[in-house]
């Protein structure tokens, strides 16, 4: 196993860096199991508690915006994602039924709800069971629902769009999940904040969350754009766009990595 491929993050611009950027992604692992051995994982109660406490402040109008448990004083919109949602609602007589896969406790819902006006909205989140239990207790409403599996969600409502926002790279088998989603009878897929690599193979790393957010680490892929779109062959690409975090970084000072999003429509 080859380790320490990603010692520092550096922008790909020519701007001089005077201070090293703290290590976030580290290692290049041959298997998910090898990477997991170096991680604390997603099941740490501290992650759920920090997400819950932060999002409750947003729900109760004590804060403006939350992402990954971190509070902001200004909403950072993903305008292409929002435009995609509005496009879906227009094509469906002002009705929007969202399947938010890996949507935490509703970050994307609370981020965009004020822009969706009087749309007839159903927002279903598929998450890990401990997030689902917390979501049902603190955040569920007539619009916002939580489900422990894709099957459970689809048994309760018929989505017209799937959102995959900063989730694909954290799945053990991302391409297997994309194939499953490709075969669903859902009109649109919107992918956002997805980590890609400019290489001929995927890179599996460990992501170390900065301590000011919460203390955790978990496996994280940098994936191939061509392979993602290939797995979604039942969909046509309507638009692609830069991700809402750093557009490009260098892995190991040599490998281009970047974030992108896509809007796709069923053929």
> pLDDT tens digits for the chain (267 residues)?
222 223 333 333 333 332 334 468 888 899 999 999 988 766 567 788 888 998 999 988 888 888 777 788 788 888 999 999 999 999 999 999 999 999 999 999 999 998 998 899 999 999 999 999 999 999 999 999 999 999 999 999 999 999 999 999 999 999 999 999 999 999 999 999 999 998 899 999 998 887 776 778 889 999 999 999 999 999 999 999 997 655 566 665 667 889 999 999 999
Asked if the structure places residue 260 within a domain, the reply is yes
Q: Can you say how many angstroms the Cα of residue 151 is from the centroid of all Cα atoms in its chain?
A: 20
Asked if the structure places residue 62 within a domain, the reply is yes
Asked if the structure places residue 6 within a domain, the reply is no
Letter string b/e over residues 16-55, b meaning 16 or more CB atoms within 10 A of that residue's CB: eeeeeeeebbbbbbeeeeebbebbeeeebeebbebbbebb
Q: How much is the pLDDT for 1? A: 28
Question: Domain of 163: which CATH number?
Answer: 3.40.50.150
Q: How much is the pLDDT for 244? A: 61
How many independent structural domains does the chain possess? 1
On whether the CB atoms of residues 98 and 159 are closer than 8 A, the answer is yes
Asked if the structure places residue 199 within a domain, the reply is yes
Close Cβ partners of 161 (under 8 Å, ≥ 6 residues apart) = 84, 85, 88, 96, 97, 98, 99, 186, 187, 188, 189, 190
Asked if the structure places residue 105 within a domain, the reply is yes
Angle in degrees, CA 52, 81, 140, rounded to 5:
30
Asked if the structure places residue 47 within a domain, the reply is yes
Q: Is the pTM of this model over 0.75?
A: yes
Integer Cα distance of 185 and 94 in angstroms: 20
Asked if the structure places residue 7 within a domain, the reply is no
Asked if the structure places residue 20 within a domain, the reply is no
Please give the residue range of the domain that contains residue 35: 25-266
């Amino acid at each position: 196993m080859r380790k320490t491929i990603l010692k520092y993050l550096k922008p790909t611009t020519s701007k001089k860096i005077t201070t090293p950027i703290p290590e976030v992604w580290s290692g290049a692992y041959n298997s998910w199991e090898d990477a997991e051995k170096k991680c604390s994982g997603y099941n740490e109660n501290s992650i759920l508690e920090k997400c819950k406490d932060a999002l409750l402040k947003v729900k109760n109008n004590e804060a403006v915006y939350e992402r990954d448990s971190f509070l902001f004083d200004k909403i950072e919109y993903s305008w292409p994602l929002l435009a995609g949602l509005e496009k879906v609602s227009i094509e469906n007589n002002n009705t929007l039924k969202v399947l938010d896969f890996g949507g935490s406790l509703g970050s994307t819902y609370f981020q965009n709800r004020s822009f969706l006006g009087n749309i007839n909205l159903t927002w279903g989140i598929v998450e890990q069971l401990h997030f689902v239990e917390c979501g049902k207790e603190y955040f569920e409403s007539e619009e916002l629902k939580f489900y422990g599996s894709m099957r459970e969600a689809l048994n309760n409502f018929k989505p017209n769009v799937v959102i995959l926002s900063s989730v694909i790279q954290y799945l053990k088998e991302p391409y297997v999940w994309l194939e499953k989603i490709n075969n669903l009878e859902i009109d649109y897929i919107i992918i956002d904040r997805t980590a890609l690599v400019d290489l001929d193979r995927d890179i599996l790393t460990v992501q170390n969350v900065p301590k000011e957010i919460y203390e955790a680490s978990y496996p994280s892929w940098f994936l191939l754009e061509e392979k993602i779109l290939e797995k979604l062959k039942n969909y046509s690409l309507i638009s692609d766009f830069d991700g809402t975090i750093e557009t490009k970084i260098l892995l190991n000072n040599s490998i281009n990595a970047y974030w992108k999003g896509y809007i796709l429509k069923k053929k």
